[in-house]
Amino acid sequence: MSKVGRNDPCPCGSGKKYKKCCIDKPLPKMEHNSFKLFLNNFWTYDAANNMSTEEIIEKLHSMGIVFEKEAFLKDAEKFYSAEQLSENWFNNFKVTAVGIDEDFPWVAAWVLWERMVPENKMSMEQMADLIDKGFEKLNVNDPRGACDIWLRVWEAIKYRSKPELKTLEYLEKQYEGSFFVRNFCQDLEIELHNAGLQDPRFFEKRIKYCREFCSLFPDEDEMIIHNMRRAIIESFICLNNFDEAKKGLDNLVNDYPNNPWSYIEYGDMYWFGDDFIKDPMKAKEFYDKALKVAKDKHDIIAIEERLEDLNQVNCK
């Protein structure tokens, strides 16, 4: 049997994409030829993308959908996905599509969105596909390639952000069922670090990204904001910019005095940093402060392990 792609129609027959339906369920058993015949019952992105823009528009017209580019571009501002936009067509026009053609408006909207709308205004489908492509890069140990792709998704998220909405909750609901915005944003921060270990320029990109995140979503979950701010500091340390790192650490300790990781990060700079900044005594001072405010057992273990390593070095 052929492998089902995340974006292929689900074999259960629901009409949804596999990743939005039965990806976590066992696949039904069917012969290879039967599966190929099954896929032939659906319009796919690839099939629509092989058509010219004129052919797509003509087919939409043939099923009762009046396509006008100006109206389409306005709809792309209003809706977050090609699926939502195509549903609006069904609501506003007497669509005559039946059978396999019922899927065509969706994939047509997807392809036309990709061709006509500026990339920073990409659809949910485009964003989900780019996220998948990023994971494919990670599977072959290419975090730089993954981050280059994912930063394009971040540009789309930035475009959809609104000044009055200080958290990701609104966008989380809009992209629900396709990907989790919070998870993606945290994954991007982590992979920018991994990319930075291969190419220091990605530490600069990490700083820019995390600053933008904190500026756009200042009321987001405290743990996420704290981690983003630590990521900025960590990146400065990796770039040997200790003056900026110290400024960030002082602000972090001031803003989050009861979070042990504010002090752990400070201690780590003096313990794991470059020889120029390395100072085991200062590191111990901050680890001791972290231990005083730590309540979570995993945090306590992390601090005690660092102190134990320090003591072993001091005993030599």
CA atoms of 269 and 277, how far apart (whole Å): 7
156 or 19, higher pLDDT: 156
* Across 31-45, 56-70, 149-163, least confident range: 31-45
Q: Is the pLDDT of residue 26 over 60?
A: no
Whether the per-residue pLDDT at 35 is higher than 60: the answer is no
First to last CA, the chain: 62
Name the β-bridge partners of 9.
17
Which sequence spans correspond to the domains of the chain? 1-31, 43-117, 124-315
Does pLDDT of 305 surpass 50?
Answer: yes
Alpha helices per DSSP H over the chain: 32-39, 45-49, 53-62, 69-78, 82-92, 104-116, 124-139, 143-160, 169-174, 181-198, 201-216, 222-238, 242-255, 260-272, 280-293, 297-315
User: In which band, very low, low, confident or very high, does the pLDDT at 13 lie, cut at 50, 70 and 90?
Assistant: low
Q: Rounded mean pLDDT of 242-250?
A: 97
Q: What is the pLDDT of residue 234?
A: 97
pLDDT digits (tens, 9 = 90+) for 117-143: 999 999 999 999 999 999 999 999 999
| pLDDT tens digits, one per residue of 216-234 | 999 999 999 999 999 999 9
Which of these ranges, 23-27, 204-208, 259-263, 305-309, has the smallest mean pLDDT?
23-27
Give the model's pLDDT for residue 30. 42
Give the pLDDT confidence score for residue 312 in this predicted structure: 81
| Residue range 124-315 in CATH 1.25.40.10 | yes
- Where does the pLDDT of residue 153 fall: very low under 50, low under 70, confident under 90, or very high at 90 and above? very high
User: What is the reported pLDDT for 276?
Assistant: 78
| Predicted local confidence at residue 17, as pLDDT | 59
8 has a pLDDT exceeding 70: no
Mean pLDDT of the chain: 90
Q: What residues pair up with 17 in beta bridges, in sequence order? A: 9
> Phi/psi of residue 79, each to 5°?
-100, 155
Chain centroid to CA 263? 28
Q: How far apart are CA 291 and CA 308, in angstroms?
A: 13
d(CA 185, CA 179): 11
From residue 218, alpha-carbon distances to 190, 211, 232, 297 in Å are: 19, 10, 15, 28
What torsion, rounded to 10 degrees, do the Cα atoms 33, 35, 38, 42 define?
-110
